[in-house]
């Protein structure tokens, strides 16, 4: 069973900074390490996305705001990681 950790990044492209560290570029998705799918439900192997376990999802959103390296975050993954409002729950279920 997968552990619930903060999501990392899976992306369609990559770029390398001057220190030799890989960073995501292109279409980026939130990915929980230890699983084979991104948060919007697409399998990593089928989508051919590179994994970046050392880059947290919040850093990918920051890189997208800068707009320098062409990072485009997935709208579904962004919605799945929002914590400012609670997830939907049924208040009064029928018997």
What string of pLDDT tens digits covers the 95 residues of the chain? 445 578 999 999 999 989 999 999 999 999 988 888 898 888 988 888 999 999 999 999 998 998 878 889 999 999 888 877 766 777 887 76
User: 92 in a domain, yes or no?
Assistant: no
Contacts of 15 (CB under 8 A, 6+ apart): 22, 23, 25, 69
User: 13 in a domain, yes or no?
Assistant: yes
Domain tally, the chain? 1
Cβ atoms within 10 Å of 26's Cβ, excluding its own? 15
User: 91 in a domain, yes or no?
Assistant: no
User: 86 in a domain, yes or no?
Assistant: no
User: 25 in a domain, yes or no?
Assistant: yes
pLDDT given for residue 47 in this prediction: 87
CA distances from 93 to 85, 89, 90 (A): 21, 10, 6
Domain extent for 46: 8-80
User: 68 in a domain, yes or no?
Assistant: yes
User: 57 in a domain, yes or no?
Assistant: yes
User: 88 in a domain, yes or no?
Assistant: no
Q: What is the pTM of this model?
A: 0.79
């Amino acid at each position: 069973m997968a552990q619930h950790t903060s999501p990392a990044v899976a992306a369609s492209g990559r770029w390398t900074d001057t220190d030799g560290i890989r960073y995501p570029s292109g279409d980026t998705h939130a990915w929980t390490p230890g699983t084979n799918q991104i948060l919007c439900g697409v399998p990593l192997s089928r989508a051919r996305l590179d994994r970046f376990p050392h880059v947290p999802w919040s850093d990918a959103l920051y890189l997208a705001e800068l707009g320098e390296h062409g990072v485009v975050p997935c709208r579904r993954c962004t919605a799945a990681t929002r914590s400012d409002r609670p997830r939907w729950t049924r208040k009064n279920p029928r018997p």
